[in-house]
Structure 1
Amino acid sequence: MLPTVARPARILVVEDDVAIRQTLAELLADEGFEVACASNGAEALDHLSCSAAPSLILLDLAMPVMDGWKFRSAQREDPRLARIPTVVVSASHSADRRCAEELAPDAFLAKPFDLDSLMSTIHRLC
């Protein structure tokens, strides 16, 4: 019998800043993850409606069109998406407490975050 080949975990990066989004995508791909990207919450919901569910969502809060707050609300209301682990990242340090109370993410990282902390969090949740 042939050994089973584990598929790499899939991560959806939802971030409006092009440089941050591309850097995260490259970093995660270099770590062996399959990466998809969206520039706002609406784009992320569109992606999720026609793609296999990712292993994890890395979500910025402040974005145009649909911010992370509205995306997370829609995600939690959809049974198909609600159980996907979500790591919220934000430059607003004051968002930490409010985010934990209102959005109940699996983890919160304040920008700028340490890459080792990010990778540790992702590996723990995947």
Structure 2
Amino acid sequence: MMPPILLVEDDDDIRDAVAELLRDEGYDVHGVDNGEKALAYLHQAAREPCLILLDLMMPVLDGWQVIDRLRGQDRLLALPVVVMSAASPKTAPPDVAAFVRKPIDLDLLLGLVKRYCGRPVDGPY
């Protein structure tokens, strides 16, 4: 069984749609609605996720704060993070694998998931 994908997005509709898309492709997805819940999940998870999909603008802990905390912990340092945001940073965010602008290009997102997580054994491909 492949590792899960951690989806951190405060917008219920976006989180549900992305999770459904990835589950339809055969991936295991764990969704949370803020950065604090994401960090709590990472600390208690039996297995590291293969990828973190991270919104930047969220309540409690935003995406930047989550990235800072991940990078401060050796165990979590190497986890690939794909940032999803409607914001337009002038430069690519540091320490992230990729940046996906909202509205999300689903083909681009699926390509990134396949790059970092591989293809699910029981997926449609």
Secondary structure, in 3 states, of the residue corresponding to 1:8? coil
TM-score (norm 1): 0.87
Secondary structure at the residue paired with 2:76? coil
Q: Any stretches of 5+ residues in structure 1 without a counterpart? A: 1-6
Contact 1:96–1:108 (CA under 8 A) maintained in structure 2:
no
- Measured in 1, the distance between the counterparts of 2:107 and 2:82 equals 14
Q: How far apart, in 1, do the equivalents of 2:90 and 2:73 lie?
A: 24
Counterpart of 1:46 in structure 2: which amino acid?
A
The answer as to whether partners of 1:88 and 1:105 remain within 8 angstroms in 2 is yes
1:68 equivalent in alignment to 2:59: no
SS of 1:80 mapped into structure 2: helix
Q: Counterpart of 1:119 in structure 2: which amino acid?
A: L
CA contact (8 A) 2:9 2:58 kept: yes
Partner of 1:118: 109
- Shift of the alpha carbon at 1:96? 5.4
In the TM superposition, structure 1's runs of 4+ consecutive aligned residues that sit over 6 Å from their partners are none
Between the two proteins, the alignment pairs up a number of residues equal to 116
RMSD (Å), alpha carbons: 1.1
For the residues of structure 1 that align with 2:51 and 2:90, how far apart are their CA atoms? 19
Structure 2 distance, partners of 1:68, 1:30, is: 26
- Per the alignment, residue 14 of structure 2 pairs with 20
1:30 paired with 2:18, answer no
> 8 Å contact 1:8–1:32 — kept in the other structure?
no
Contact 1:56/1:85 (<8 A) preserved: yes
Q: Larger relative CO (CA 8 A, sep 6+): 1 or 2?
A: 2
Paired AA for residue 58 in structure 2: M
| Residues 37, 91 of structure 1: alpha-carbon distance in 2 compared, 3 angstrom cutoff | same
The structural deviation recorded for 1:82 is 1.1
Q: Once the two structures are aligned, what percentage of the paired residues are identical?
A: 45
